[in-house]
Amino acid sequence: MTKKEFISNLKIDLFSKGVRISAEDKGRKGGAGPAGSKNIIFGNTVANVPTFAKFVADSPYSLDNNVLKKFNKKIIDVKIPNPQFYKLKTKDGIPYNKIALLHGEDCLATTVVQHCIYWDTPLRCKFCGIDLSKGSTLDIKKPEEIAEVAEAAKRLDNVKHVTLTIGALKEEDEIKILGNCASAIKNAAKIPVHVQFEPLKDLKRMENLYSKGVDTVGIHIESFDKKVLENIAPAKAKIGFDRYLKALEYAVNIFGENQVSSFIIIGLGESDESVIEGCKTLSGMGVYPFVVPINPIPGSYMEDAIPPSFERMKDIYESVASILKENLSWKKSKAGCVKCRACSALDVFE
Ligand code: SF4
pLDDT by residue (tens digit) across 313-344? 999 999 999 999 777 999 999 999 999 999 99
Percent of all residues in the chain with a pLDDT value above 70, rounded to a whole number: 95
151: nearest Cα among 179, 184, 180: 184
Query: How far is ligand 1, taken at its centre, from the CA of residue 109, in Å?
Result: 8
Ligand 1 pocket, residue 163 CB under 6 Å: yes
CATH number of the domain residue 121 falls in? 3.20.20.70
d(Cα 227, Cα 310) in Å, to the nearest integer? 24
232: nearest Cα among 201, 261, 197, 263: 263
d(Cα 187, Cα 191) in Å, to the nearest integer? 9
d(Cα 5, Cα 96) in Å, to the nearest integer? 38
Residue 277 lies in domain: 3-349
Q: What pLDDT, on the 0 to 100 scale, is given for residue 291?
A: 98
d(Cα 264, Cα 163) in Å, to the nearest integer? 18
d(Cα 105, Cα 227) in Å, to the nearest integer? 36
Which amino acid is residue 10, in one-letter code? Answer: L
Ligand 1 pocket, residue 261 CB under 6 Å: no
Query: How far is ligand 1, taken at its centre, from the CA of residue 297, in Å?
Result: 14
Ligand 1 pocket, residue 107 CB under 6 Å: yes
Which amino acid is residue 272, in one-letter code? Answer: D
Q: How many domains does the structure of the chain reveal?
A: 1
Ligand 1 pocket, residue 31 CB under 6 Å: no
Angle at 30 between CA 224 and CA 102, to 5 degrees: 90
User: Residue of the nearest CA to atom 1 in ligand 1?
Assistant: 337
Query: How far is ligand 1, taken at its centre, from the CA of residue 151, in Å?
Result: 19
Residue 194 alpha carbon, nearest atom of ligand 1: 7
Query: How far is ligand 1, taken at its centre, from the CA of residue 219, in Å?
Result: 14
pLDDT classification of 80: cutoffs 50, 70, 90: very high
Ligand 1 pocket, residue 314 CB under 6 Å: no
Ligand 1 pocket, residue 164 CB under 6 Å: no
Q: What pLDDT, on the 0 to 100 scale, is given for residue 342?
A: 97
With contact defined as beta carbons under 8 Å apart, do 294 and 307 qualify?
A: yes
pLDDT by residue (tens digit) across 205-222? 999 999 999 999 999 999
- H or E element: which one contains 218? strand 216-218
The average pLDDT across 239-247 equals 97
pTM, full prediction: 0.94
User: Residue of the nearest CA to atom 5 in ligand 1?
Assistant: 103
Phi, psi of 16 (to 5 degrees): -75, -35
- H or E element: which one contains 74? strand 73-77
